[in-house]
Amino acid sequence: MAWKRKDVLKVESTSEFQQWMAKRRRWLIAHGKLLAEDLPSK
């Protein structure tokens, strides 16, 4: 069962999710799974 878009947007807007995503990106970069230049610009 897929998540509803409104529920996804609600979760993605939380600070906890943002912190988790930042940690995940750092891990992916450290393990060569994501290039640093692939990070979204702020």
What's the pLDDT band for 42 if we cut at 50, 70, 90? low
End-to-end CA distance of the chain: give it in Å, rounded: 33
Looking at 1-42, list the stretches that DSSP marks H as alpha helix, in order from N- to C-terminal side.
Answer: 5-12, 15-30
Which one has a higher pLDDT value, 41 or 10?
10
Tell me what the mean pLDDT of segment 19-28 comes to: 95
pTM of the model: 0.73
* Cα gap 4→9, rounded to integer Å: 9
- Rg, the chain, Cα only: 13
